[in-house]
Chain A
């Protein structure tokens, strides 16, 4: 369930939850990503954007320990609690699963907490519906409720609005912002386009095998590297979505400068919360 601490507590300057330094991942003798530096803090939303095959999911998986780094290093706060919305779920139709049961898939949760999570994402009436009958938007909301139900320190959302129409996209992103406000968790998000993400992100990292640019959403859309990657048209459209935000760059990276810097993420510098460290298999 959601944490009781005040909203926005130390946002953007919060403790580093997870970071990657000079991260590289290779498969079949080919680098999928290379030289990635990134860092997610408590209360911060970091969005990875890039074309298909640019290594967004790969990077996110490496950060949460699902893939091993072939170069560089990844660091996570010991005992980091992760909530994950994967890009794909291969759910066989032979598996009967209600929304409420989906929410307790990886961990037991009290009934009231399940209901509150569904309430928070706006689908309390679907608790007993079968997941196979949900629309794209309802399913993504259910997955979001499931991920936040664990009260995670870090939410990792891989394309959280896939299969959702445009109005639904905006609603989901505002929901994601609300989750961050309410729980103070860090969020690492993946999206293939920037325009709807803008209002809901602090830091954007443009990937194309490497980091092509990074910074606040405003800084990124005016960056030539971003415009090369996504074309002028996209950038013009984005102007509409500009918003006010004092974007703080991650780990001291300013603007689109992506030089590797010494990581501030000294293990144990700031204990994640008062939770007991639990046994886990993050690696």
Chain B
């Protein structure tokens, strides 16, 4: 039987997974998994700042994640250090700064574990409203910019030569990432957000033959992982965020089993 808090957690988690599916596919295609992790690591700093200036933590997280991604772009353009080095520096500097800032504000009683690993069972109806609003916004913008995003994933120059706007798509993509990190923090926590982006997408890759199909499957697989993970969490009293990620990982492992994989073969031989 479903307790009320459990239903809320399920509704919130599935809403998030449906949002992270298509966005996660873009992260995987663009090889930006580490970029997502960098933005997610900065979320703690966003929470600290939000408490300091007394605004909604989600706004703080969004603002800091967006700032970090802009900083990364600027540093990449200067071209002195490689992208992965820059991301390693920014991710951990932001995380360390966030931890220091949170503990420095000694008057605050912050549930650090909740921030790092999520607290989906404490989700309120209002949280669900924000999450679904944010998720609808993300999916709407993704649908609107899908062609540009996909084309520039294959080739920025191709997209630009043929009249699309890859630059605008790239900026929108980063802002969408910031939104998702802001709304996902409470569900799976800062350290596990990237997992919900990339694991369902990677699982869907084994099953899909087209980009749109892969995006939809990633949403479905993510939702399945949420349902499985939460059920497992309830049954065995395990922490909910990590349980969801483990369920996603289990689905990924299942997709690797040979024979269940639909190989994207050529349709037929030439005549």
Contacts and interface: CB of A to CB of B under 8 A. Distances in A.
Contacts of A127: 267
Contacts of B266: 126, 128-130, 133
B209 interface: yes
Nearest to B207: A96
Contacts of B258: none
A130 B205 CA distance: 13
B141 interface: no
A82 B161 contact: yes
Interface string B141-173: 000000100110111011111111100000000
Interface of B: 28-31, 147, 150-151, 153-155, 157-165, 201-202, 205, 208-211, 213-214, 264-271
A98 B147 CA distance: 15
Interface string A88-123: 111110111110011001111000000000000000
Contact of A96 (B159, B162, B209, B269): B209
B154 A125 contact: no
A95 B163 contact: no
B160 A66 contact: yes
A106 B162 contact: yes
A130 B264 contact: yes
Given A92-B29, A95-B211, A106 B164 contact: yes
Contact of A125 (B163, B265, B268): B268
Given A81-B163, A94-B201, A126-B267, 12 more contacts: A84-B158, A84-B162, A92-B153, A94-B202, A95-B153, A101-B210, A105-B150, A106-B163, A107-B147, A128-B267, A130-B264, A281-B164
Interface string A172-216: 000000000000000000000000000000000000000000000
B157 A125 contact: no
Given A97-B210, A98-B209, A133-B266, A89 B155 contact: yes
Contacts of A98: 209-210
Contacts of B267: 125-129
Contact of A280 (B29, B163, B214): B163
Nearest to B159: A106
Contacts of B151: 105-106
A86 B152 CA distance: 12
Q: How large is the interface on A (under 10, 10 to 19, 20 to 34, 35 or more residues)?
A: 35 or more
A124 B252 CA distance: 34
A14 interface: no
A61 B161 CA distance: 9
A89 B160 CA distance: 14
Given A94-B28, A96-B209, A61 B268 contact: no
A128 B267 CA distance: 6
B154 A281 contact: no
A41 interface: no
B198 to A, nearest CB: 10
Given A94-B205, A96-B211, A125-B267, A281 B165 contact: yes
A17 interface: no
A48 B268 CA distance: 37
A194 to B, nearest CB: 25
Contact of A101 (B160, B201, B202, B211): B211
Contacts of B147: 105-108
Across chains A and B, which 5 residue pairs bring their CB atoms closest together, nearest first? A84-B161, A128-B267, A280-B163, A129-B266, A130-B264
Nearest to A107: B162
A108 B146 CA distance: 12
A278 interface: yes
